[in-house]
Amino acid sequence: MTSMEGIDALTPDQAKSELRSLSQKYGALIVNYNNQQTELQGAQKRNVHLENEVKRLTSQLAPALDTPSNEVDMLRKQLQESLQELRSVEELNMTLQKKVNKLQVEHVSEEEVDQLFYALEMKDHELARAVREKEGLEQEILTARQLTARGGNFEPKFIEIHHHSTLSDDDDSDSDADLPEQAGQG
């Protein structure tokens, strides 16, 4: 079992594996506990039934108990067997209870399972981000390779356009206005 401090160090696959293992243990604990409870209830019902049967038979046989007979001996033997069966069921119940107690000590709480799921989710997000970054870097590498394949020192060509700052809008309008007058004079 992994300590809660070590969750961040788990890889997504390790976290999934650990979570699967803990979930299986937790499921087995629940199944064992439910089985034990069912057996306990059955044993308690049998106990009540047998006690009632003993009371009924004792009240019916009270006068006959003073005079032993085969029937009374048989009933006593049946009572002893029933009591032994009850004790063996109680022993089995105690064994199952010890197993459940041991599993409860070892089981993972729901909070720990939730924390593992959260850690796994975070690792999945980190993995997705890393994959996206990797794809972006691979695209950049591909672009760089294409550029170098086109011509070793590929440099973009820029054409510079220079504007003369000595011209102004007023100069243009004056020179245009002078031209028709000169044409008419000549």
Question: What is the domain partition of the chain in residue ranges?
Answer: 10-108, 110-154
pLDDT, position 148? 75
pLDDT, position 45? 92
pLDDT, position 49? 92
pLDDT band at 24 (very low <50, low <70, confident <90, very high): very high
97-152 residue pLDDT tens: 888 777 777 666 777 777 888 888 888 888 889 889 888 888 888 888 787 777 65
Neighbours of 14 (CB within 10 A): 15
If you average pLDDT over residues 10-34, what whole number do you get? 89
pLDDT exceeds cutoff 70 at 164: no
CB neighbour list of residue 43: distance below 8 Å, 6 or more residues apart: 86, 89, 90, 93
54-96 residue pLDDT tens: 888 888 776 655 555 677 778 888 888 888 888 888 888 888 8
pLDDT, position 138? 85
pLDDT, position 5? 61
pTM of the full predicted structure?
Answer: 0.31
How open is the CA angle 178-182-183, to the nearest 5 degrees? 120
Nearest 10 degrees: CA dihedral of 115, 118, 122, 124? 120
| CB distance 7 to 119 below 8 Å | yes
Decide which of 181 and 57 is more confident: 57
Cα-based distances in Å from 28 to 2, 20, 32, 106, 150:
19, 12, 6, 12, 65
